[in-house]
Chain A
Amino acid sequence: MADVNVAPSLLDDSIRKSKILVVGAGGIGCELLKNLVLSGFNDILVIDLDTIDVSNLNRQFLFQKEHVGKSKAVIARESALGFNPNVTIVAKHDSVMNSEYNVTFFKQFTVVMNALDNRAARSHVNRMCLAANVPLIESGTAGYLGQVTAIRKGLSECYDCNPKAGQKSFPGCTIRNTPSEPIHCIVWAKHLFNQLFGEADPDEDVSPDTADPEAAGDAGSVALQNQASEAGNVTRVSTRAWAQQSEYDPSKLFGKFFCDDIKYLLSMDKLWTKRTPPTPLSWDNIPEEISDQQGGLIKDQKVWSPAECVQAMVSSIKILYQRSKELNGEESFLVWDKDDEASMDFVTACSNLRSHVFSIPKKSRFDVKAMAGNIIPAIATTNAVIAGLIVFEAFKILEGKWEECRHVYLNSKPNALNKVIAPSSLDSANPKCYVCSPHPEVTVLLNVSQMTVQSFEDKVLRGALHMISPDVMVDDGKGTVLISSEEGETTENMSKSLSDFNISDGTRLRCEDFHQEYDLNITIIDREHLEENREFTVIADPSQLQPKAAVESSGPQPSTSSSKPAPSTRATESVEIDEDLDVIFQKGTANDDHQQEPSIRKRSISGQADIGSASKKLRLSENDIIEL
């Protein structure tokens, strides 16, 4: 009767004939699957590589307690079929970035819908859809905020048209030598976890960094370095092997990380001319400071005193050491997990002890978890709203009314125009986009004699540019192959530096990702030092290149320096993203009536300053804000 008529029969028909790919079966994915099944879609493929966690159950309603640990895609399919057994749903418990999901795979779908939680996968699906010329609906939520947009090759901007502000990353020497914010200590504590129990990564060293450019020529540190090596310094043995020698004796670990290393840092006195110097802690004399904070109704939200931190450190080390002893076979190390209590206690305790040493405000376990795990608050209501909006965009695409598609933002409260939902027309593609323009180009600033081919592949091509299986040729007239996607073909290149291949200032590299059907030309600019001690900077639009003098700065910037969302991606220290993240952070449009003059305004709407996610909308609306 009434129900079927509503949608004009043409739409109704195309709904029934369509084939939909849903990428992600998390918060948005569950709602979306339900909406699709109940809107008449009957051929759906859902893919997700994740398994169900307890913290999903407050919104991912296709899952229940007994499903914890199982595949999201598989259970989502079962639950949806339980409701309507007459539709075809195929579930893949897999990463959408796997090579079997090639362009031909993508071509079979009428519309692809992203319900993802990380940029790399979003960026990848974006490329696959551009290559397959399939419309993509992109979405994301964070707390009360959300957004939906439609992407189609040639008809709109693509996901990569506006480079996202990079994930918050920190220079190595800030983490190792001169932390000034809680997050620096938290990142350090996560590294410490990996050094002691996890997969050791040389980039995650936790001991003092003597190569800190700021401390260059520091006689004191040189002297101490010599002294230290005489004393059989840990630089020779890995941190882990050293800890094993003492069977993870907590007093020894404590002595090294919160006393000896700190004393060492103090000897690098150039670091402390303008900073508050750290105060080493002594195992025998842990300060008993009152930690009675207001507000914390549950213990998780209380800030531990240093003595409590030591207690938690001791007990968590005991558990983690025991666990690492029990490891056998394939897994030789522990993996840090924000939902594992011992891991979380360890990081809370160690980060707060370090904060104490450096006179940095301490954080509750609850807050440390949010920052260390990059937790984005998530609720059922926002996902429901966003999943509804995705379906409306799909209707318009199926009806061929591309011009009616919108980029829709969900605000946490009505904006200046009294709207909670703010639709805007789709922007046209950025002609200089490094992904969807006819001849994609980027410029990468780096130090050619320091960057290895391995780092270039891992950090620049895969990390920042989201490639999957790159082939790289140096444009030197000889066709030198730098990186090959064929296994083993260029292994011997990996440890060499770029300069070993005569790559210098101005060299062009031809990159190709066969899987993504994506070609990219990279121009290398050789820079000895980069701002904030970054390893590299990717510039999508060469006109954004600042004069050399401005880019090159000696030593790290003070931590208070404003971090203007530069149109560049950067990475030295990337942090993984939790579910449903990304996008948004639309600046408030209403005028702040307390401010009668231009002022620096840097608040992030959600108060989650450390998420470091900002979208192009942020950049756009920043035009209304005059910065001093």
Chain B
Amino acid sequence: MASPSPKSPGQISDKSKKYDRQLRLWGDHGQTALESANVCLINATATGTEILKSLVLPGIGSFTIVDGALVTGEDAGNNFFLDHSKIGKPRAHVATQLLMELNSDVKGDYIEETCDQLLSNNPDFFCSFSVVIATGLTEKSLHSLSSNLWQNNVPLVVSVSYGFTGSIRLQVSELCIIESHPDNLLEDLRLDKPFPGLKEFMDTIKLPEMNHKQFSHTPYLVLLYKALEIWNDRHGPNPPSNYKEKEILRNIIKSELGYGIVKEEDSNSGDEENVAEAIKAVNTALTKTQVPSNVQKILNDDQCIRLKEKNSFWIIARAVKEFVEKEGNGVLPLRGSLPDMTSDSQRYIALQNVYREQASKDAEHVWRHVQTILKERGWAGESVIENDVKLFCRHSSELRMIRGSCLAEELDGKQLPPDVDINQQLEEPDSPWLHYLLLRAVNKFHTENGSFPGYYDDNVETDIAKLKGCFSRLLNDLGCQGGSLSKDDNLHEMCRYGAAELHAVAAFIGGCAAQEVIKLITKQYVPLDNTFIFNSVTSTTATLRL
């Protein structure tokens, strides 16, 4: 019984122990992506350090804090990483030190300059980051940063905690996701379009020649396939599509497949587990095999067709497109996995191998298309690796692509999305559009007055009036002439906040924003598209597309 010994127990690294609970969510490759990422935080505000905290703990590769400010008493009051003993010291330095204590695997760096200084002295500075996170920036600085990053194709996450409200804005020009982790992924079984290997396998199985024991240990996929053959003989090539037709198929499974098979004893017939499984699977296993619309959109995209850039995702997407048009006869590469089912091991493994072999054949075809594409364009062979192609093929039915919008253009914008009836939104007490506009209005106030409304206690009354002005001018700018707030409550509330950053809001927004950063970095799960608004008073959130 000698054989190569299994990896001995003592070899599980400290790292995989430490990260065990998260590896179960995004896998080793997600973790590897995270560990090779390099993020930049602009301004070590409470929100900013809370975001970094949630990135340093799971083991981001490295971070850099850009901040020209010194620690104030207010910082010490709301920021866990800046305490009273550090008042007057450079915020970037202090925060970096304390954040690095959270995880020795993470490298930290800081620059004691403002974002504006860096943008003018060293405009290429931000190009090297995987993601840039901005907090505490004025609208003007945000505008320059946004244009810079949009041009350089670096994702930007802007996070705001303002009193009891907050927002997150994602700016990403294009994000391609291979593993979108959909909730309800159907099995890829191809019963409606059996590939030659499957057909061959199924043809070797003769149900009527089985004894009862063999029959009841046959994988349910075989039963479904055989029942479909009977169906096709009687009703033509289209598989059952509605309830009534599926009921007919269920009856075939129930009463015709095992017909004539002699039971060893007088056990109740018709309650074999595999038959029950086949009947149950009629709903899900017979879905028409086709390219899902979100994937078709990617395959038809200009990027895929013209393939201007040497980008791994698009190269493989193009190869998949060619596969679909040629070898695949209109369908995507096979996923190659099977659900668990009642069966004896031998036939289950045999069936599993049929699917696996076809999946690896399909991936092989795609891989060859990739090589042809690279050769034709004179691109280096190593720009795409085979494992990526396999992963891509396995997930080809769940691909997603997001094209975002530029924040600078939003700030310059002359109108809100056309489908938004702003006057109606202003009537609703907890409308996310209202909160969005209020947050824009306080920024406008800051641009015009140099401070946020209500920041100085003695100016509150005058600030309310000024903010009201800002709000209606903002509405005018956005093409909503005549739009106004019926009540001033919300403006009072915004002034009362005085731009304060409450720790609990910062913690909440920080957790949400860090999650978005992780999605951007791991390219798993579908990120926010593109603005998130939060009101802690009512615990409501909303996603707006701007």
A residues lining the B interface (CB < 8 Å): 1-3, 5-7, 31, 34-35, 38-39, 54-55, 57-59, 61, 64-65, 83-84, 143-144, 180-181, 273-276, 283-286, 288-289, 294, 297-302, 304-305, 307-312, 315-316, 339, 341-342, 344-345, 356, 359, 361, 366, 369-370, 375-385, 387-389, 391-393, 395, 404, 406, 408, 412-414, 418-421, 423, 558-560, 588, 592, 594-600, 603, 605
Asked if A384 contacts B497 (CB within 8 A), the reply is no
Residues of B within 8 A of A274 (CB): 216, 267, 271-273
Residues of B within 8 A of A307 (CB): 1, 3
Residues of A within 8 A of B104 (CB): 65
Of A58, A310, A375, chain B has the most CB atoms within 10 Å of the CB of A58
| Cross-chain contact of B539 among A305, A308, A408 (Cβ < 8 A) | A408
Asked if B511 contacts A385 (CB within 8 A), the reply is yes
Interface size class of B (residues with CB under 8 A): 35 or more
Can you list 10 contacts pairing A with B, beta carbon distance less than 8 Å? Answer: A1-B457, A55-B17, A57-B57, A65-B104, A308-B5, A384-B54, A414-B543, A421-B534, A597-B242, A600-B283
Asked if B9 contacts A316 (CB within 8 A), the reply is yes
Asked if B543 contacts A359 (CB within 8 A), the reply is no
- Looking at the assembled complex, report how far the CB atom of A11 sits from the nearest CB atom of chain B, in whole angstroms: 11
Asked if A389 contacts B508 (CB within 8 A), the reply is yes
Asked if A359 contacts B344 (CB within 8 A), the reply is yes
Asked if A58 contacts B21 (CB within 8 A), the reply is yes
Of A35, A83, A84, A388, chain B has the most CB atoms within 10 Å of the CB of A388
Residues of B within 8 A of A339 (CB): 17
Asked if B514 contacts A380 (CB within 8 A), the reply is yes
Residues of A within 8 A of B133 (CB): none
How far is A304 from B3 in the complex, measured between Cα atoms in Å? 12
Residues of A within 8 A of B59 (CB): 58
Give the residues from 31 to 70 in chain B that come closer than 8 angstroms, CB to CB, to chain A. Answer: 46, 50, 53-54, 57-59
Asked if B508 contacts A64 (CB within 8 A), the reply is no
User: Which 3 A/B pairs are nearest by Cβ-Cβ distance?
Assistant: A384-B511, A388-B508, A2-B498
Instruction: Encode contact with A along B510-535: 1 for CB under 8 Å, 0 otherwise.
Output: 11101100100000011000001010
B496 at the interface (CB under 8 A from A): yes
How far is A558 from B275 in the complex, measured between Cα atoms in Å? 12
B71 at the interface (CB under 8 A from A): no
Asked if A286 contacts B1 (CB within 8 A), the reply is yes
B186 at the interface (CB under 8 A from A): yes
- Looking at the assembled complex, report how far the CB atom of B534 sits from the nearest CB atom of chain A, in whole angstroms: 8
Residues of B within 8 A of A59 (CB): 21-22, 57-58
Give the residues from 323 to 356 in chain B that come closer than 8 angstroms, CB to CB, to chain A. Answer: 336, 340, 342-345, 348-349, 356
How far is A378 from B3 in the complex, measured between Cα atoms in Å? 37
B500 at the interface (CB under 8 A from A): yes
Residues of B within 8 A of A288 (CB): 3
How far is A286 from B3 in the complex, measured between Cα atoms in Å? 10
B29 at the interface (CB under 8 A from A): yes
Asked if A284 contacts B1 (CB within 8 A), the reply is yes
Residue ID in chain B nearest A383 by CB atoms: B511
Give the residues from 449 to 488 in chain B that come closer than 8 angstroms, CB to CB, to chain A. Answer: 454-457
B118 at the interface (CB under 8 A from A): no
B260 at the interface (CB under 8 A from A): no
Residues of A within 8 A of B543 (CB): 414, 418-420
Contact A423 B540, CB 8 Å, known A6-B163, A384-B54, A558-B273: yes
B259 at the interface (CB under 8 A from A): no
Residues of A within 8 A of B457 (CB): 1, 5
Contact A297 B216, CB 8 Å, known A312-B6, A341-B9, A560-B277: no
B164 at the interface (CB under 8 A from A): yes
Residue ID in chain A nearest B6 by CB atoms: A308
Asked if B9 contacts A342 (CB within 8 A), the reply is yes
How far is A341 from B8 in the complex, measured between Cα atoms in Å? 10
How far is A311 from B5 in the complex, measured between Cα atoms in Å? 6
Instruction: Encode contact with A along B1-33: 1 for CB under 8 Å, 0 otherwise.
Output: 101111111111010111111111101110000
Asked if B503 contacts A2 (CB within 8 A), the reply is no
Contact A421 B539, CB 8 Å, known A39-B504, A375-B20: yes
B120 at the interface (CB under 8 A from A): no
Residues of A within 8 A of B277 (CB): 560
Asked if B25 contacts A312 (CB within 8 A), the reply is no
- Looking at the assembled complex, report how far the CB atom of A511 sits from the nearest CB atom of chain B, in whole angstroms: 38
Residues of B within 8 A of A294 (CB): 336, 356, 390, 394
Contact A83 B74, CB 8 Å, known A5-B498, A300-B16, A377-B25: no
Asked if A58 contacts B18 (CB within 8 A), the reply is yes
Asked if A3 contacts B17 (CB within 8 A), the reply is no
B428 at the interface (CB under 8 A from A): no
B residues lining the A interface (CB < 8 Å): 1, 3-12, 14, 16-25, 27-29, 46, 50, 53-54, 57-59, 74, 77-80, 83, 101-104, 163-164, 183-184, 186, 216-217, 242-243, 246, 264-265, 267, 271-273, 276-277, 280, 283-284, 287, 336, 340, 342-345, 348-349, 356, 390, 394, 454-457, 496-505, 507-512, 514-515, 518, 525-526, 532, 534, 536-543
- Looking at the assembled complex, report how far the CB atom of A563 sits from the nearest CB atom of chain B, in whole angstroms: 14
- Looking at the assembled complex, report how far the CB atom of B115 sits from the nearest CB atom of chain A, in whole angstroms: 22
Residue ID in chain A nearest B98 by CB atoms: A83
Asked if B264 contacts A273 (CB within 8 A), the reply is yes
How far is A85 from B370 in the complex, measured between Cα atoms in Å? 61
Given A3-B498, A389-B508, 15 more A-B residue pairs with CB atoms under 8 Å apart are: A3-B78, A6-B163, A6-B500, A58-B19, A299-B11, A300-B12, A308-B5, A359-B343, A377-B22, A379-B58, A380-B53, A391-B504, A404-B537, A420-B512, A599-B283
Residues of B within 8 A of A181 (CB): 340
Residues of B within 8 A of A414 (CB): 543
Residues of A within 8 A of B336 (CB): 294
Asked if B24 contacts A381 (CB within 8 A), the reply is no
Asked if A298 contacts B507 (CB within 8 A), the reply is no
Residue ID in chain B nearest A346 by CB atoms: B9
- Looking at the assembled complex, report how far the CB atom of B249 sits from the nearest CB atom of chain A, in whole angstroms: 13
Contact A388 B511, CB 8 Å, known A359-B344, A560-B276: yes
- Looking at the assembled complex, report how far the CB atom of A346 sits from the nearest CB atom of chain B, in whole angstroms: 9
Of B184, B273, B500, chain A has the most CB atoms within 10 Å of the CB of B184
Contact A144 B283, CB 8 Å, known A38-B77, A311-B6: no
How far is A433 from B451 in the complex, measured between Cα atoms in Å? 54
Residue ID in chain A nearest B59 by CB atoms: A58
Contact A5 B11, CB 8 Å, known A307-B3, A381-B515, A600-B283: no
- Looking at the assembled complex, report how far the CB atom of B94 sits from the nearest CB atom of chain A, in whole angstroms: 13
- Looking at the assembled complex, report how far the CB atom of A85 sits from the nearest CB atom of chain B, in whole angstroms: 9
Residues of A within 8 A of B538 (CB): 404, 406, 423
| Cross-chain contact of B29 among A5, A297, A393, A594 (Cβ < 8 A) | A297
Contact A35 B390, CB 8 Å, known A1-B74, A65-B104, A180-B342: no
Asked if B74 contacts A560 (CB within 8 A), the reply is no
- Looking at the assembled complex, report how far the CB atom of A340 sits from the nearest CB atom of chain B, in whole angstroms: 9
Of B5, B27, B344, B539, chain A has the most CB atoms within 10 Å of the CB of B539
How far is A5 from B537 in the complex, measured between Cα atoms in Å? 16
Residues of A within 8 A of B507 (CB): 31, 34-35, 384-385, 387-388, 391
Asked if B9 contacts A344 (CB within 8 A), the reply is yes
- Looking at the assembled complex, report how far the CB atom of B350 sits from the nearest CB atom of chain A, in whole angstroms: 12
- Looking at the assembled complex, report how far the CB atom of A361 sits from the nearest CB atom of chain B, in whole angstroms: 5
Asked if A382 contacts B16 (CB within 8 A), the reply is no
Asked if A315 contacts B344 (CB within 8 A), the reply is no
Residues of B within 8 A of A304 (CB): 6
Residues of A within 8 A of B536 (CB): 388, 392
Asked if B242 contacts A64 (CB within 8 A), the reply is no
Asked if B343 contacts A276 (CB within 8 A), the reply is yes
Asked if B276 contacts A341 (CB within 8 A), the reply is no
How far is A345 from B8 in the complex, measured between Cα atoms in Å? 9
How far is A387 from B272 in the complex, measured between Cα atoms in Å? 49
Residues of B within 8 A of A375 (CB): 20-21, 24
How far is A337 from B493 in the complex, measured between Cα atoms in Å? 53
- Looking at the assembled complex, report how far the CB atom of B506 sits from the nearest CB atom of chain A, in whole angstroms: 8
Residue ID in chain B nearest A406 by CB atoms: B539
Residues of A within 8 A of B498 (CB): 1-3, 5-6
